[in-house]
Amino acid sequence: MTFQYRGKRILVTGGAGFLGSHLCERLLDVGAEVLCVDNYFTGRRGNIAHLLGNPLFEAMRHDITVPLFVEVDAIFNLACPASPIHYQLDPVATTKAIVHGSINMLGLAKRLKCRILQASTSEVYGDPEIHPQPETYWGHVNPIGPRACYDEGKRCAETLFFDYRRQHNLPIKVMRIFNTYGPRMHENDGRVVSNFIVQALQGRPITIYGSGNQTRSFCYVDDLIGGALGLMKTDVDVTGPINIGNPGEFTMLELAETIVRLTNSSSTIEHLPLPQDDPQQRRPDITLARNTLGWEPTISLEEGLGRTIAYFDRQLGLQQA
């Protein structure tokens, strides 16, 4: 049985974050009532300020490492710091947010007998030995490295979701998110798109870690949210994991050169040492998403970067005013 959003009460954890705020907005657009839960560790009130006047929207400050007792019809579990700078700041707290948070949200879903979607990540593939990465690939992850709090935390969360499915017949959905960008990203979150754009707009050197030949795939946020909404609506037998990302693949040098051109910047490129366990390649195989959800991204890198550059240009202008 598929799921309809109109008239349903939907819980979005991490709802004031980059992805969460866009998801809350889209859910309201399709007639859902939204409960946004966030502890504001990386989420920002400014991301949801424009939603607060909507009578179908409610914002609650809460840390999901503590159990939550509410009545909802479905849960999108997005709560977790997602950039290396943020999740490595307090790695123990990161693991707790992912693992304890997942246990609490799964417990809530079990009590309510409602479907729940886990925002997992392409980081479960680690530094992949298979390219592009299909959902059947088990990954190549360092379990004790500086990224492990996030990588292994998300892998453990997937384990919990599937064990709740097997043990309690819980209707789960697992979405593996590949690099996503767009308005409302943190300007200082350390991720490559926001880093490059801010540096280019300010005329500072663009910092590339390593040779710049490592590759990533970049999905614009509107496309990603469309995939999440589509996955949640599927029949209960469709659990995932499903890759949601853009299969276009670009080197860091190509990305930097594109951003310099689009911003008409005078920035030069500066190379810094590559961080430990940084993946050399990352590209989703989205065959399953195409076949199961009828989903694929539609927004090109240049179009998405143009929108994101305009957002950061406004933000930086406000900060300087």
Q: Please enumerate in sequence order all residues whose Cβ is within 8 A of that of 209, keeping only pairs 6 or more positions apart, or say none.
A: 252, 271, 272, 273, 274, 275, 278
Contact 5, 30 (CB under 8 A): yes
Beta strands, E only, 137-194: 172-177, 180-181
Q: Alpha carbon 320 to chain centroid distance?
A: 29
311/217 Cα distance (integer angstroms)? 21
Is 150 a known active-site residue?
A: yes
d(CA 204, CA 304): 22
Q: Which of 150, 164, 181, 220 is catalytic?
A: 150
Tokens (6 digits) for 294: 């009828």
What is the bridge-based pairing of β-strands 9-13 and 33-38?
parallel
CB atoms within 10 A of CB 67: 12
Positive or negative: CA dihedral 90, 91, 97, 100: negative
Q: How many CB atoms neighbour CB 251 within 10 A?
A: 15
Residue 298: phi and psi, rounded to 5, are: -120, -10
* Residues catalogued as catalytic: 150
